[in-house]
Amino acid sequence: MRRGGTALALLGLAAAVAFPLLTTRVTWQNAAILMMMTAQLGVAWNILGGYAGQVSLGHAAFFGAGAYVSTLLSVKLGVSPWLGMGAGAVVAAGLGVLVGTPCFRLKGHYFAMATIAVGEIVQALVNGSDALGGAVGFNLPLGETGFWGFVFNRSKLPYYYIALGLLLATVGVNWIVNRSHVGYYLRAIKDEPDAARSLGVSLTRYKMIAMILSAGLTAMGGTLYAQKELFIDPGSTLSTSLSIKIALVAILGGAGTLWGPVLGAVVLTAIEEATRIAFGGTGRGTDLVVYGALLVVIAVFQPSGIAGLFTRRAPRPPAPPEPEARFP
C-alpha cells in the first residue's frame, strides 16, 4: 500500500516533468500550470484546514499578501520577486499570527466565519488604498528578464517548472509536518482538543505553527501568480470566491491527506474548464455556482473527498454510549 503510493508518486512526478516536452501546445501547458498552482494552494491550505481542522475561508488574504508584497517591492523598489516571495511569505505569516491570536479561540463554524470577515476586511482595505493600487491594481512590466527578474514571455516552460517546484516544495513541507510530532499533534487537536491538552499539547501553539506554514506557503503561490499574470487587483487575488476555491480544492480532494488536494485541483480545474466551454465567457460568474454545487455534493455523498474513495475505510462503530446505570 505505502510502497504502491511511493511508486505512484514517482510516476506522477516523472509525468509532470516530461509533460511540457510531450506537448508544445500553449493551451495545454497553461492548463497544467494553472492546475499545479491551484494544487499548491490546496496543499498549503490543508496544513491548517485539513490536518489541524481549522477551516479557513480567508486564505485569499495570504495569497494577496504574497502577490502584493512582491509586486510592490519589484515595481517600486526594483527588488527581485524571488526575494519578494520570501518577504510576502513573512508578511502573510505575520498576518496569520494576527488573525490566529483572536480567532483560534473560536470553535468550528465560528472560526470559518471569522476568517471570511478577515478576508473581506483585507480586500476592502486594499480596495480603498491608493498606495496599494486601489481597485485598479498593478500592471507589472512585461519585458523578459530572465530567472532573477521572474518574468518570462518567450516560453511558458519556466513558469511550468517553477509551479512544479513550488508544488513539490509545498507537498514536501506537508510530508515533513505530517511525519513529525507536529502532524500527530495537529490531528489530535482536530479529533479531541481537550484530550490533546491533557497530554501536554498547547492548542494555540500548534494551531499557530500550522497557520504560519499555511499562510506563508499560500503567499508564495500568490507571488507566482502575480509574476505569471503580470497583473494583480483585489478581485483576482483577494476575493472570497478565491478563498472558497482554495478550501474547496482541499476538501474536494480529501482534507487532511497528503495528495488529496492535488487530486482536487486536477478535478476542479477540469470542471472549471468544462463549464467555461459550456457557458462561454470568462466563467467568472459561474464560479460560485459550481463551487456551491460541488460543496453540497461532497457534503452529502463523499465527506472524505476523492482520496477517501481510494483508502479502504474500516466501518465505524457508533459512538460509545455514555457510562450507563451505576451503583447504587
Partner 1 sequence: MSAPLLEVRGLTKRFGGLTANEDVGFTLREGEIMGLIGPNGAGKTTVFNALAGFFPPTSGTILLDGAPVEGLPPEAIAARGVARTFQIVRIFRSMTVLENVMVGAMLRHRAVPKAAVVARETLDFTGLGRRAHDPAAQLTVAEQKRLELTRALATGPRLLLLDEVMAGLTASEVQEAVELVKRIRDRGIACVVVEHVMEGIMPIADRMVVLENGRKIAEGPPAAISVDPNVIRAYLGEGYLAPGP
Which residues make up the interface to partner 1 (CB under 8 A)? 179-181, 184-185, 187-188, 190-192, 194-203, 256, 314, 316-317, 320-324, 326-328
DSSP codes of every residue in 56-101: -S-THHHHHHHHHHHHHHHHHH---HHHHHHHHHHHHHHHHHHHHH
- CB neighbourhood size of 127 (10 A): 17
CB of 189 to partner 1, least distance (A): 10
The residue (of 91 and 251) whose beta carbon lies closer to partner 1 is: 251
Q: Which is nearer to partner 1, 196 or 246 (CB)?
A: 196
CB of 259 to partner 1, least distance (A): 17
- In angstroms, what is the minimal distance from the CB of 255 to partner 1? 11
Nearer to partner 1, 153 or 204 (CB): 204
Whole-angstrom Cα distance, residue 19 to residue 217? 25
What's the rounded Cα separation, in Å, for the pair 324 and 328?
Answer: 12
Question: Which is nearer to partner 1, 189 or 290 (by Cβ)?
Answer: 189
The count of other CB atoms within 10 Å of the CB of residue 55 is: 19
The cell numbers describing 138, all together, are 498593478
Helices (H) and strands (E) in the chain, counts: 14, 2
Q: What angle do CA 241, 245, 248 make, to 5 degrees?
A: 135
Distance of CA 168 to the CA centre of its chain: 13
What DSSP state is assigned to residue 138? E
Compute the distance between CA of residue 11 and CA of residue 31 in angstroms, rounded to an integer.
20
What span, in angstroms and rounded, lies between the C-alpha atoms of 207 and 281?
A: 41
Q: Dihedral through CA 279, CA 60, CA 169, CA 230, nearest 10? A: 70
- Cβ closest to partner 1, residue 131 vs residue 314: 314
- CB closer to partner 1 out of 24 and 204: 204
Residue closer to partner 1 by CB (options 82, 310) is 310
Q: What's the first-to-final CA gap in the chain, in angstroms?
A: 51
